[in-house]
Chain A
Amino acid sequence: MNKRSYLSTILIIVFLFSLTSIQWNKELFHSGGGETLLQIIKSLFQPDLSISTLLLALKSAWITLAYAVTGISLALLIAFILGILASGVLFNSGFGRWLSFGVFRGTLSFMRAIHELVWAWLFVAAIGLSPFAAIFALAIAYGGALGRVFADILNDVPQEPLNALKSSGASKLHILLYAYLPMTASNMLSYTMYRFECAIRSSAIMSFVGLGGLGYQIQLSLSELRYHEVWTFMFFLIVLVSAVDLWSNMLRKRLIL
């Protein structure tokens, strides 16, 4: 037996042993837990389709989408600028490159190290329950994540075309325009679209802190045990995310061809 099988055996034994610490009795579910689960599953097939709920869902979906679009647009702007600076492609070697790695990569890490929900709490505390709280929270956290990936994508391009441009007398900014950006645009766009999808889900969750939107409605309906309504809102969220997925696929196809 090699080392890996030893490790696997040990891990399996540890796992089996850990099962003994669970109390296999009725307290695993709270009383009526099974009943509730059944109810939730049942209402999956009978979502509330009354006009008033549908209108409310539509309105909430619109708010969620608006937060996500505004947030991701701002994030894209921040990420584009900081990502280019953090990649170091505009700097020669030495101090400038060191500065760009230290300062801009550091800034990006700071922005994304804190979850957007925490940013949202901070902004709600500072500026109150305003849409800006949600938008800024998304823009900062997602700007950090996007910017980091943009910088990595920019650092990964093949060197030959860059050297050719450099030796034909192009400046760093020229090379950015004529090589880095065209070579990376489709990659950046496709990652941005993926992040946009995440932003919609996140924007729904963020409304739990009281900012309106689909998440807020789901929370209200849940607390009033109206599972039929919960599913209506859930379906709207699913449709929203799928629509973005479809759109991003279409965009990607057009760009890569």
Chain B
Amino acid sequence: MTVNKMFVLKNISKTYGEMRALSSLSLIVEKGEMIALIGPSGAGKTTLLNILANTILPDSGEVIVDGITLHAYKSTKQFADKVGMIRQQFDLVGHLKVIHNVLAGRLKDWGFFKALLSLIIPQDSKIAESALEKVGLKDKLYERTSSLSGGEQQRVAMARLLVQNPQAVLADEPVASLDPVRAKDILYMLTKLASEEQQTLIASLHSVEYARKYFKRIIALQAGRVYFDLPVEKVTEELLSSLYSLEEEKQHE
């Protein structure tokens, strides 16, 4: 029996009004791959990730996640077991304590009353504790989330993802709002946890340097198409400078 591919995209197109975000894009992602998504802004990185996360629908083409086409998924829970997403720090509920934000990753398995009870007496708190320990925030368990720094909040989001425990993790500019030291810290943790949990990881990044340092495969998007798709050691300076210079030429037109 062959193992299913994590993601298979066939001829995906997406336009926003006049703007063509993705045009006829095809892609195969194996399980356990570590992929960086690079390219100039507006190249379609976020659109691609959102289509993989099933938060927006493509205009045409087919998306197959772990052997099942997207519209064949019956519930958000079934899909949440496959794919989890991490964005910039704004996706946490700042008013809640850290533990509740982390345990929100369990909601897919909880009924209403267990979820309600958990806000008073945290349920499955061992899972939250061990997840927070892995991201180095064990002592912040009962702090108000909004009182944490940006980097710490991003780690809380990672802990929530650990609790959700999907097969694939999508990260949309996970370090865009962080300073270089914290950015490296977060990327190191993100890639380390993904390989420990044998997850597939796809992260969009602005920085080519980070893409090379932490990932094994680099997919470059340019105007909604794959510009190159190579193992990290085959990505040359010439390719990179042409990827970003194309954009400059376009802007001068």
Tell me the A residues contacting B by CB distance below 8 Å: 158, 160-161, 163-171, 173-174, 177-179, 182-183, 185-186
CB-CB under 8 A from B164, the residues of chain A are 168-169
Knowing A177-B116, A178-B107 are in contact, say whether A167-B93 is a contact too (CB < 8 A). no
Give CA–CA (A192, B17) in the complex, Å: 43
Give CA–CA (A158, B119) in the complex, Å: 21
Task: Say whether B248 faces chain A, with CB atoms less than 8 Å apart.
Answer: no
Determine whether the beta carbon of B93 is less than 8 Å from that of A161. yes
Contact of A168 among B96, B104, B116 (CB under 8 A): B104
Give CA–CA (A179, B100) in the complex, Å: 10
CB-CB under 8 A from A177, the residues of chain B are 112, 115-116, 119
Knowing A178-B96, A178-B115, A182-B95 are in contact, say whether A165-B90 is a contact too (CB < 8 A). no
Determine whether the beta carbon of B93 is less than 8 Å from that of A182. yes
Q: Which A residue sits closest to B95, measured CB to CB?
A: A182
Determine whether the beta carbon of A161 is less than 8 Å from that of B90. yes
Q: Which of B23-31, B39-47, B78-86 contacts A (4 or more CB under 8 A)?
A: B78-86
Determine whether the beta carbon of B107 is less than 8 Å from that of A166. no
Interface string of B114-138 (1 = CB under 8 A from A): 0110010000000000000000000
Per DSSP, chain A at the interface is helix
Task: Say whether B87 faces chain A, with CB atoms less than 8 Å apart.
Answer: yes
Contact of A174 among B79, B90, B91, B112 (CB under 8 A): B112
Knowing A173-B112, A174-B112, A177-B116 are in contact, say whether A165-B104 is a contact too (CB < 8 A). yes
Give CA–CA (A166, B108) in the complex, Å: 9
Determine whether the beta carbon of A179 is less than 8 Å from that of B93. yes
Give CA–CA (A166, B79) in the complex, Å: 11
Query: CB within 8 Å of A: which of B42-80?
Result: 53-55, 75-77, 79-80
Pairs A–B under 8 Å by Cβ, sample size 17: A160-B87, A160-B91, A164-B91, A164-B157, A165-B107, A167-B55, A169-B164, A170-B76, A173-B112, A173-B115, A174-B110, A177-B116, A177-B119, A178-B96, A182-B93, A183-B95, A186-B95
Determine whether the beta carbon of A168 is less than 8 Å from that of B80. yes
Determine whether the beta carbon of A171 is less than 8 Å from that of B107. yes
Determine whether the beta carbon of B160 is less than 8 Å from that of A168. yes
Interface string of B136-167 (1 = CB under 8 A from A): 00000000000000000000010011001000
Shortest beta-carbon distance from A234 to chain B in Å: 40
Shortest beta-carbon distance from A95 to chain B in Å: 20
| Contacts across chains A and B counted by CB atoms under 8 Å | 79
Give CA–CA (A167, B96) in the complex, Å: 19
Determine whether the beta carbon of B87 is less than 8 Å from that of A164. yes
CB-CB under 8 A from B107, the residues of chain A are 165, 168-171, 174, 178
Shortest beta-carbon distance from B166 to chain A in Å: 8
Per DSSP, chain B at the interface is helix
CB-CB under 8 A from B224, the residues of chain A are none
Determine whether the beta carbon of A168 is less than 8 Å from that of B105. yes
Task: Say whether B175 faces chain A, with CB atoms less than 8 Å apart.
Answer: no
Shortest beta-carbon distance from A11 to chain B in Å: 45
Shortest beta-carbon distance from B4 to chain A in Å: 20
Determine whether the beta carbon of B55 is less than 8 Å from that of A163. yes
CB-CB under 8 A from B108, the residues of chain A are 168-170
CB-CB under 8 A from A165, the residues of chain B are 93, 104, 107
Determine whether the beta carbon of B85 is less than 8 Å from that of A167. yes
Task: Say whether B38 faces chain A, with CB atoms less than 8 Å apart.
Answer: no
Not counting A166-B76, A169-B79, A185-B95, a sample of 18 additional A-B residue pairs whose C-beta atoms are within 8 angstroms of each other reads: A164-B85, A164-B92, A165-B107, A167-B80, A168-B104, A168-B161, A169-B75, A169-B77, A170-B76, A170-B108, A171-B107, A174-B107, A177-B116, A177-B119, A178-B107, A183-B94, A183-B95, A186-B95
CB-CB under 8 A from B53, the residues of chain A are 167
Looking at A161, A167, A183, the one whose CB has the most chain B CB atoms below 10 A away is A167
Q: Which A residue sits closest to B112, measured CB to CB?
A: A173
Contact of A167 among B84, B92, B95, B116 (CB under 8 A): B84
CB-CB under 8 A from A178, the residues of chain B are 93, 96, 100, 104, 107, 115, 119
Determine whether the beta carbon of B91 is less than 8 Å from that of A161. yes
Shortest beta-carbon distance from B219 to chain A in Å: 22
Contact of B81 among A163, A169, A174 (CB under 8 A): A169
CB-CB under 8 A from A160, the residues of chain B are 87, 90-91
Determine whether the beta carbon of A174 is less than 8 Å from that of B115. yes
CB-CB under 8 A from A179, the residues of chain B are 93
